[in-house]
Structure 1
Amino acid sequence: MEAHEIQEFAEQMKESGEGESLKVISLAISILAVLVAMVTVIGHRTHTDAMLFQTRAADQWNEYQAQKIRMSSFTLAVDQLDLQSPLSTAAAAKRNEYEHHIEKWTADLAVEQKRAEVLDESVEHAESRATRYDLGEALLQIAVVLCSVTLFTRNHAYFMFGLGVAAIGIVVSCTALFVH
């Protein structure tokens, strides 16, 4: 396109009044692009949180399992000592020590299990939020494309439809804040 053709096109746009309309559409697309970027970053951060919670939950369940194995080993040792008829003083002292550990670990296991379950709930919560952000992001990206089609076709129905999809995307993204 030559310089004089560009000038003629600009004058035609001014005369038809479409120049202002296209500016509004372009501004709306820019705002939607910023919203897409924001929702994308928040969604990625939420996915990261879910992964961190998952790692912590796995570590907590591993700690629970390790304590349970130690407790089972001591329980087995106590059972074996009980099978011996007369216990020596040293064996009786060791048996009492093992029973003390078993009692302590029984209480600790309940606490470890509760911590792991809380972390599991945090994983589910973060994943639910991330899913909403992902859907909101997809809808906002679709809205940007629909609004962009308006620039090529000059059909404002695409723009209005794009704004509707964007509104739904924003609402879906905001519902992530209310997930329990």
Structure 2
Amino acid sequence: MEASEISEFMEQQEKASETHMMAVSFSISVLAVLVALVTVLSHRAHTAAVLNQSRASDEWNLYQAKKIRQSNIATTISLLQVLKPGDAAAEKQIADFRQHTSKWDSDLSESEHRAHALEMQVEAEEHRASRYDAGEALLQIGVVLASITLLTRQRIYWLVALAIGLVGLGYGAAGLLAH
């Protein structure tokens, strides 16, 4: 080989390396944007889970308050029956109390149903958030591995980074599709 051929060959290698490094840099940018998107989705899913858990707790508190009220009225009915048996005013009050407690039975059932439904939503959001978290972690690993490619100039790190990034993107998409 002549000196000019060697010089020309080296120039071609540098251009190829430069083109390859531009592709690596671009892929790092894309992976970083995907990390940001999946992170936002993850935060939103975690927030939704917390809000639904708070709503479920509120619903269970309402259920418990109604149950306590119902128990207090049952005790009052028992006391009225013992202390004032046959008293017309007491009997009217007992009838009113029984009417309230029968309405509260249906209210209790509705509260319990709403609380269970909210708890199911919490589980669904936590499942979705877990998928986003896994996708976020894998995409971040992809960014780091692609960055290592810039330092080492070894293509294998970039290929592994892209593969891991695709898996991370798959987890993020699975979070979107989860119900």
Superposed pair shares fold, TM > 0.5: yes
- How many positions carry a matched residue from both structures? 170
Cα-to-partner distance string for 1:85-115 (whole Å, 9 max, x where unaligned): 6321110011001000110001110001101
Aligned-partner Cα distance in 2 for 1:133–1:41:
9
Q: Which residue of 2 aligns with 1:4?
A: none
Q: Which residue of 1 aligns with 2:26?
A: 27
- Checking the alignment, whether the CA contact within 8 Å between 2:56 and 2:115 is kept in structure 1 is yes
Aligned-partner Cα distance in 1 for 2:42–2:94:
54
Aligned-partner Cα distance in 1 for 2:118–2:14:
63
Q: Which residue of 2 aligns with 1:117?
A: 116
Percent identity between the aligned chains?
A: 42
What value does the CA root-mean-square deviation take over the aligned residues?
1.6
Unaligned runs of 5+ in 1: 1-10
Divergent runs of 4+, >3 A: 11-16
C-alpha deviation, 1:82, in angstroms = 2.8
- Checking the alignment, whether the CA contact within 8 Å between 1:46 and 1:129 is kept in structure 2 is yes
Trace 1:2-151 onto structure 2 (pairs within 5 A). Answer: 15-84=14-83, 86-151=85-150
Cα-to-partner distance string for 1:139-180 (whole Å, 9 max, x where unaligned): 000000001100000000000001110011011111112334
Higher relative contact order, structure no. (Cα contacts within 8 Å, ≥ 6 residues apart): 2
Aligned-partner Cα distance in 2 for 1:80–1:172:
62
Tell me the SS of whatever aligns to 2:85: coil
C-alpha deviation, 1:16, in angstroms = 4.6
Tell me the SS of whatever aligns to 1:17: helix
Q: Which residue of 2 aligns with 1:177?
A: 176
